Chain A
Amino acid sequence: MSDGVLLPPSVAWGLLAAFSVLWVLLGRFWGRRAKTLDGFAVAGRNVGIALGAATAMATWVTSNTTMLAPQFALELGVWGMLAYSTASFGLLLFAPLAGRIRRLMPRGFTSADFVRRRYGPHAWAVFIGLSLFYAMTWLVSMAMAGGLLIEALSGIDYVWGMTVILAVCTLYTVAGGMFAVIGTDYVQSLVVLVGLGVVAVAVLSRVSVAEVHATLSVERPVLLSVLFPAALLAVFNNLLFGLGEIFHSNVWWSRAFAMREGVGPKAYALAGLCWLPIPVVAGFLGLAAPALGIGVSRPDMVAPVVAGTLLGPIGAVVVFVVVFSSIASSIDSLLAATSDLVTHDVVRRYFMKRASEAALRRVAARVVVGTALLAWLLCVPKIGTLATVLFFAGPMVASMIWPIVAGLYWRRANARGAVAAMVAGTVVGLAVYFAVGWYAASLASAMVSAAVTIASTSLSRDDFDFSSLAASEAH
């Protein structure tokens, strides 16, 4: 079997063009109400449970789920596949936080805004630095995935594929902001679910679970081992990485602000439950590759190669559409959330204090374009695999779990503790990343950050008034 080009370039260009037009038209249609910053950034704060759950699930079904979960299974076996699905705990545990966030800051915009009001400017500076770095690594890994996928399936040059995907997402996010993002996410989540179902059924019709097990037992027994050291470490590492990503990132906070009062907890819990089986389905493609005799050149390409090889051109088309949709649903969310952070927390605060809503809406659109351009520049050199790009940010996001949780619930949580927790967690986590490996880095970071936060809160005499968060929004 082979891993060569599976889709003629003319067909791939046709699909790219068709879906690009579809997303842009839908984005413009849904985004026609995004006239002010409130509409552009938080969709008028009136999103219901169906759209809320769909956008949360679609955003979390990233290219990483459809392409990295199979890589986890191929490299770390059954434990790796299950480790990836633990990322759903992030959505499930964010459900109660979403309700709390909406109640504390009914007119809030960003997660950085919360950190500044709760902990002050020093913690805000550290938080926004880490948060923007993470957003950029996620964006870069996603755009890279798009370019790699298109190249693997059709032979279209990586840079062209990556450029088209970034450009399309930028176009409809600029046109419609959060309205466009949530609307397209809804359609994209349906496309992803149906497509993954089709691929899973097709794979299982060609090879049974028993055959996969028998092949792995002989050829790669470690992938089935209960005591596979790196895979065991990946379980808690991925779990804590997922918590860190969701708890701190403005992608998830902006949706909590966008949902109607009382909707957030239900929508996030539903999204978490619906997302849980997706990495298992996608991951099975990675485990099936050896049983199907499919040679894998790059681990992050295993899913498209398996589906395309098994199902021929139709499979390649299905994978192309599924991954294009999942990538678009995440890139648009990241562009919108990063634009909110920069526009609201940097531009409005320091450069345009008296700007009108319409002027800020224009700035937000320009920030989306600038963010996409920066991501494009970082994507061109094609640094590392998807996993290495994304997991480098793991220690940073894991260090923010406890400052966020403590800041939301504990009156005695304080600024010095939050700064120390984020800095110590990041430093120790990065040291472990280089000394041990990515599969222990987030774990070490979260652990150190938790210890520092708990210790500093225990020693503190602060008594924060949570009602001040809502009150200070009026200013």
Chain B
Amino acid sequence: MRYVRFRRAIVHAWSLVAWSIVAVAPTQVHATPVPQLVDAGHPIRSDNGAAQLRWSSDAAHFQVRLRGDAVPDRIVHEGRMPSAHLSGLADGTYAVRVRAEQDGVWSPWSAPRRIVVEHMSLSLVWVLMGFGAITFGATAAVVLTQARREAA
């Protein structure tokens, strides 16, 4: 009788251990840490619509998601390095998030980092382009006229 009780106790103990392993194991094996965007608290300010993002993570597969004032939420980058380069963004404020994948399991999305895009004023651009055209035109004119004069 004592032997039977002892065997039941052993079986109960093993059951408890086995259940606790089953209960704990999924979170230990599959949880992928959330990548941390570098300088997440500070917005990136861009005057050419491009932004360079970096984050810290030990994973080797990432996705970057972008949402803007007038842009639908979408994945804009997928890669293996802990950085991404975005370009061609129009004027506006955007929020980017990153997530990592390990062993087929994706982490939750990181806290967002803001990107504020404000392209330069076109009036300034026209003025500078005008100066550029004059400077280049004058250089080409001097070189070509002097060369022709020399050849004559």
Query: What is A's interface to B at a CB cutoff of 8 Å?
Result: 1-4, 74-77, 89, 93, 96-97, 99-100, 216, 219-223, 227-233, 235-237, 239-240, 243, 290, 293, 295-299, 401-402, 405-406, 408-409, 436-437, 439-440, 443-444, 446-447, 450
Contact = CB atoms under 8 A, between A and B. Distances in A.
Given A97-B143, A230-B47, 5 more contacts: A4-B60, A75-B87, A220-B89, A295-B77, A297-B81
Interface in B98-152: 119-122, 124-125, 128-129, 131-136, 138-140, 142-144, 146-147, 150
Nearest to A302: B85
B33 interface: no
Contacts of A77: 88
Contact of A447 (B47, B76, B132): B132
Contact of A74 (B64, B87, B124): B87
Given A75-B50, A100-B147, A405-B139, A233 B77 contact: no
B66 to A, nearest CB: 10
B59 interface: no
B132 A230 contact: no
B85 A298 contact: yes
A239 B142 CA distance: 16
5 contacts: A93-B139, A220-B88, A405-B142, A443-B132, A447-B135
B136 A236 contact: yes
B65 to A, nearest CB: 12
Top-3 shortest CB links A-B: A220-B88, A236-B132, A295-B79
A91 B60 CA distance: 44
Contacts of B84: 295-297
A286 to B, nearest CB: 9
B78 A2 contact: yes
B8 interface: no
Contacts of A227: 122
B121 A229 contact: yes
B135 A446 contact: yes
A440 B125 CA distance: 9
Contacts of A228: 49, 119
Nearest to A290: B88
A315 to B, nearest CB: 17
Given A3-B80, A227-B122, A236-B136, A297 B85 contact: yes
A237 B140 CA distance: 15
B122 A229 contact: yes
A29 B87 CA distance: 47
Nearest to B83: A297
Contacts of A223: 87-88
The A contact surface, by secondary structure, is: helix
A240 B79 contact: no
B56 interface: no
Contacts of A401: 139
B90 interface: yes
Given A97-B143, A229-B119, A409-B146, A221 B90 contact: yes
A63 B147 CA distance: 32
A77 to B, nearest CB: 7
B15 interface: no
Nearest to A244: B139
Interface-central residue, A3, A76, A297, A443, by most chain B CB under 10 Å: A297
B139 A232 contact: no
A93 B76 contact: no
A75 B119 CA distance: 13
Contacts of B133: 236
Contacts of A219: 76, 88
Contacts of B134: 447
A99 B134 CA distance: 25
A409 B151 CA distance: 13
Contact of A221 (B61, B83, B88, B146): B88
B126 to A, nearest CB: 8
Contacts of B142: 405-406, 409
Contacts of A299: 50, 52, 85, 87
Contacts of A447: 131-132, 134-135
Contacts of B128: 233, 236, 440, 443-444
A296 B80 CA distance: 10
A6 to B, nearest CB: 11
B125 A229 contact: yes
Contacts of A4: 60, 79-81
B129 A236 contact: yes
Contacts of B121: 229
Contacts of B89: 220, 222
